Amino acid sequence: MATRSQTIVTRRPSLWPIVFALGLLVTAAFVGLPLLAPPLAPEPAPLRTIPHTDVNPYGANFFLHREVEPWKVEKTLALAREAGIGWGKQHFPWETVEPRKGVFLNESLSRPAWEKLDEIVAAANRHGIRLIVRLDRPPAWARSERPNPPEGQHPPTSVREYGDFVYAVVSRYRGSVQHYQIWNEPNLARVWGGRPPSADEYVELLK
């Protein structure tokens, strides 16, 4: 009797569902990654460029009121200009310009205080140096405290008196001097008689 053999074929499961599922997971990961990452910083604004001007940026401090001979004033300014200096901060000490109320006399030189200052302003203009005139150091009659220290000063007792002095200087040099410094280094205690700097007092001076 003949026997019929049977062959059983087992079908392997398809891998495509697994591959498809993995693909979805990878895609979701890449899509969601930006949501998990910290936000990017905004692009910085482009730097502003400052155009070149014809203004000379170089300056120096001058104390020409201490010079006795006029030729030294001329020589100093000539050398400064030769070195490329275009600006000069010049001190006009109140205590030497107006040692007594309404009296503009340089007592150390026994001549009107304006004469010395006139020479300085005229010489600076001749040499093409723009002055920034510093106005401070009140005289004894305009302060109630002890004398001004060599490297400091005391504030005036009356803002109005200081304003009168500033007005006198500005009126005299109208058209010749365009820039003024009201007080010197007002952020330092030594220019307030050793007291802490006062922004309120300085604002009063500026008024």
| Ranges 4-18, 72-86, 99-113: which has the least confidence | 4-18
User: Do residues 147 and 140 lie in contact, with contact meaning Cβ atoms separated by under 8 Å?
Assistant: yes
With cut-offs at 50, 70 and 90, classify the pLDDT of residue 57.
confident
pLDDT tens for residues 30-41?
A: 555 555 556 677
- Tell me if 189 is assigned to some domain: yes
- Residues near 3 by Cβ (< 8 Å), separated by ≥ 6? none
- Tell me if 11 is assigned to some domain: no
Q: Report the alpha-carbon distance of residue 6 to residue 194 in Å, rounded.
A: 116
Question: What dihedral do alpha carbons 203, 168, 161, 60 form, nearest 10°?
Answer: 50
Global confidence as pTM: 0.71
For 22, 32, 43, 199, the CA distances from 18, given in Å and listed in that order, are 6, 21, 43, 76
Q: Report the alpha-carbon distance of residue 149 to residue 137 in Å, rounded.
A: 10
Domain count for the chain, please give it: 1
Higher pLDDT, 158 or 23: 158
- Tell me if 48 is assigned to some domain: no
Higher pLDDT, 8 or 199: 199
- Tell me if 130 is assigned to some domain: yes
Residue 1: what pLDDT? 52
Residue 49: what pLDDT? 76
The average confidence (pLDDT) of the chain is 84
The amino acid at residue 158 is S
Q: Report the alpha-carbon distance of residue 130 to residue 11 in Å, rounded.
A: 101
- Tell me if 44 is assigned to some domain: no
Its domain, for residue 142, covers: 59-206
Is 50's pLDDT higher than 60?
yes
Secondary element (H or E) of residue 132: strand 130-136
Q: Report the alpha-carbon distance of residue 139 to residue 156 in Å, rounded.
A: 8
199-206 and 159-172 are packed helices; what angle lies between their axes, rounded to 10 degrees?
Answer: 40
CATH at 127? 3.20.20.80
- Tell me if 97 is assigned to some domain: yes
- Tell me if 50 is assigned to some domain: no
pLDDT tens for residues 66-93?
A: 998 999 999 999 999 999 999 999 999 9
Residue 14: what pLDDT? 61
- Tell me if 127 is assigned to some domain: yes
| Ranges 37-51, 101-115, 170-184: which has the least confidence | 37-51
Is 168's pLDDT higher than 90?
yes
